[in-house]
Structure 1
């Protein structure tokens, strides 16, 4: 029997149990807190930690923690119901957009127009996938594009690995440099008690520089194997891959980008633009953002004449696709519930304060990045990791004089970097399986790029921390 790595749900629940056990042995303590005018929240005061009476958590508390993670009547700060509902609404919205075929057709048309000039499709398609990753966390949705892109890349004289790199690295670098991604940036900023627009300039720089590095890296590999196919990392699998995609390689793509599709794409883009305006200047949060996406979904339904029954089914199915993400948010927030109830959260913060408070801001933010990299292996879910780590990591930044937006950027960059090769991430293993690229071949291909991206991230975080 082969070992199977547990899912994020099991990992998070085991962490709840482990931390509950910790409340029996870890000293209970609390900081004094003061109101932060800018954040509008109470934050711990460095140097005021003191031990308090212990409140160890038992089996019943462990079972109640995920429920309280969604709605905790004793601590609204620990509740995640607003974020979870917003995620479900986003899922419904994306389901409606995907059902129209506008995104698929747009990419298909780009492929047709660039036939014979596929080399220049690499930066364009990677930019489109990066846009999807940065704005709405494109991940599982990308799996649908492999069968479309692989035969075109092979027919152009490349290999299936080039197609994998375009999709996986494109969407992945978008998630790594998330700007308004509701499943990473928004949730993490919410957990860190800051507006998600803080730090967007640095994240845009990481997004662009990371995208550029990926494009250059993939184009150099594509050019190399175009000149000498024997240099392909998957050269020994070429016959098998060509046999699987032989029909698609000789098929003409007759998809037409209709007026309806163009309108849907405009509505899709405007929805995220309005969301940024609402949050940054009108004080919107989860409820109003959710209403915006509902309204946009309905508008798209009218434009495409979807029909009430069809629209409802598509929206519900889209929400169902992200139900797991919503559940993860509640379970992960349950960790905070147990730690707070057991008076252990401030004890961990105190340990972090003693350990990290003497470090310079540059060393501190890079240490945070390293911690998030390690945690991402065990919790590949961006939303799960956000609500798991941000409530602890963000206050530590206050002690070290580092802006919380840098901690959010460090978290999402670390998670995005690891999820470019993480074997526990279904998007990685699924895409490689479709393209018939062995996992170890992908590692051989991508590891130099990972080092380059790591240097870009750490350099950006270091400069931002130094000049802050």
Structure 2
């Protein structure tokens, strides 16, 4: 007979079960935005075509109210659908990202069916024995390099299923694996140097060359990376020494069963020649993806085709047979179906805002509040405003085009260089996009890592505080110089 203690519910799991899932949180945000379209006045700025940006940009001082279009029940229900594919193009469609995620799942399903990844991870962890913690700064540096140079974001979703099992096998937890990727690329975007989707577009919209302010951004990149690395390494070592200190300690057994499936057998197995070839193809796939994105202009369609082709090659090399290969692909895609759905829901929030025409109204409200401030007050207010705006416009390029044509001229009146306004923008959205539930990369990465959103907030809030204090200090000093 089980004792009363054995049957008592785990308090951590009970508390976690009361917190809504990511699906519910995102849908409630859609409802909230729909309610705001009934309360807030609808408005817009006059738009002019910016040839350099290749799209329309708002004209400062031209905000005006328009006929409201309050969003009703049908609009709320349609928003997640339009988030995937919006024929009216109120927001960038999520269908390409969602399909990319499903194809990655299929690719990983085929690779995992060969047993090559499990065996390879076991060999890698064995080789790192006693030095596992040093993989954290090395990997975070690589992801930060991708973030600062070409805005690595959605592409990181391919790495979560690969690195999280490595982190868990090394004695850490799923949060450590998620943090290595999300914080690594995140601080790179926060300290963007030549990132075309952040610094370049924002500078162009502000009417300045993107090289202005480069020195400050390099300092912010280096110090932010160091702060994040120390934070993750300290957390990871605490978890390895005392697993119950993990913010997802109640999910330890569940996550190990999910991410380390097949690893027990892999510890005794010998890595065969065929599995070594599969691992080479596996690694080359990611190398080709990075090359294609950074130098060939690839996006989701091309990356999806790459992973599909690699899945076929792996299936052939692994002598899996047609039925086993297709079954493994479908099962792998099924594992990431929830991630694909979350991405569409997140985009649905912006659909509602844009259809209800309240995005410009929110921007105009902040425009009025910061006019006439002193230089230090202005740059810090701009930092916070851009951070708040990025919750509802999580796209770096989208927010740059929306806000910079308005705030850059205001910077002139405040005596703040436009390059500092650009830096305030990119650091603000870089920090916000580490936690924004409207950002597909955040909700997608957490879903793949099986890390509940509220647990991620518990983990990351001290780091956010450190980054905000540091960035605010850096912006203030720069404003004085």
Find the aligned partners of 1:222 and 1:126 in 2 and give their Cα distance: 12
- Note the C-alpha offset of 1:465: 9.9
Change (3 A) 1:124 1:372: farther
Aligned length: 409
2:47 paired with 1:33: yes
Q: Is the CA contact 2:220–2:471 (under 8 Å) kept in the aligned structure 1?
A: yes
Alignment partner of 1:347 out of 361, 367, 371: 361
What aligned pairs does 1:55-66 form with structure 2 within 5 A after superposition?
55-66=69-80
Alignment partner of 1:47 out of 58, 61, 84: 61
2:349 paired with 1:335: yes
- Note the C-alpha offset of 1:260: 3.2
Find the aligned partners of 1:34 and 1:233 in 2 and give their Cα distance: 56
Alignment partner of 1:109 out of 116, 120, 123: 123
Find the aligned partners of 2:239 and 2:305 in 1 and give their Cα distance: 49
Q: TM-score, normalised by structure 1?
A: 0.66
The corresponding residue for 1:174 is 184
2:429 paired with 1:411: yes
Change (3 A) 1:446 1:405: closer
Change (3 A) 1:4 1:34: same
Structure 2 spans left out of the alignment, 5+ residues? 1-13, 145-151, 190-194, 205-209, 247-251, 257-262, 409-417
The corresponding residue for 1:367 is 384
Change (3 A) 1:288 1:262: closer
- Note the C-alpha offset of 1:35: 0.9
What aligned pairs does 1:404-443 form with structure 2 within 5 A after superposition?
407=425, 410-416=428-434
Q: Is the CA contact 1:28–1:53 (under 8 Å) kept in the aligned structure 2?
A: yes
What aligned pairs does 1:179-194 form with structure 2 within 5 A after superposition?
none
The corresponding residue for 1:288 is 302
Q: Is the CA contact 2:47–2:56 (under 8 Å) kept in the aligned structure 1?
A: yes
1:381-402 superposed Cα distances (whole Å, 9 cap, x missing partner) = xxx9836x97557512332226
Change (3 A) 1:101 1:82: same
Q: Is the CA contact 2:83–2:351 (under 8 Å) kept in the aligned structure 1?
A: yes
Q: Is the CA contact 2:101–2:336 (under 8 Å) kept in the aligned structure 1?
A: yes
What aligned pairs does 1:54-203 form with structure 2 within 5 A after superposition?
54-75=68-89, 77=91, 79-115=93-129, 118=130, 120-124=131-135, 127-128=138-139, 136-137=156-157, 138-139=159-160, 142-145=163-166, 148-150=169-171, 167=177, 169-177=179-187
1:243-284 superposed Cα distances (whole Å, 9 cap, x missing partner) = xx9xx99x96655372432332123322222232221xxxx4
Structure 1 spans left out of the alignment, 5+ residues? 151-161, 180-184, 236-240, 376-383, 433-438
What aligned pairs does 1:272-283 form with structure 2 within 5 A after superposition?
272-279=290-297
Change (3 A) 1:275 1:93: farther
Q: Is the CA contact 1:176–1:417 (under 8 Å) kept in the aligned structure 2?
A: no
Change (3 A) 1:293 1:354: farther
- Note the C-alpha offset of 1:48: 0.8
What aligned pairs does 1:243-258 form with structure 2 within 5 A after superposition?
256=271, 258=276
- Note the C-alpha offset of 1:96: 3.8
SS in 2 for 1:6: coil
Range moving further from structure 2, 256-265 or 59-68: 256-265
The corresponding residue for 2:289 is 271
SS in 1 for 2:434: helix
- Note the C-alpha offset of 1:22: 2.1
Q: TM-score, normalised by structure 2?
A: 0.64
Find the aligned partners of 2:238 and 2:97 in 1 and give their Cα distance: 46
Q: Is the CA contact 1:423–1:429 (under 8 Å) kept in the aligned structure 2?
A: no
- Note the C-alpha offset of 1:449: 5.6
- Note the C-alpha offset of 1:45: 1.1
What aligned pairs does 1:361-400 form with structure 2 within 5 A after superposition?
362-363=379-380, 366-368=383-385, 370-371=387-388, 386=394, 391=398, 395-400=402-407
Change (3 A) 1:204 1:13: farther
- Note the C-alpha offset of 1:29: 1.7
Find the aligned partners of 2:239 and 2:302 in 1 and give their Cα distance: 50
The corresponding residue for 2:259 is none
Alignment partner of 2:315 out of 284, 287, 301: 301
SS in 1 for 2:57: strand
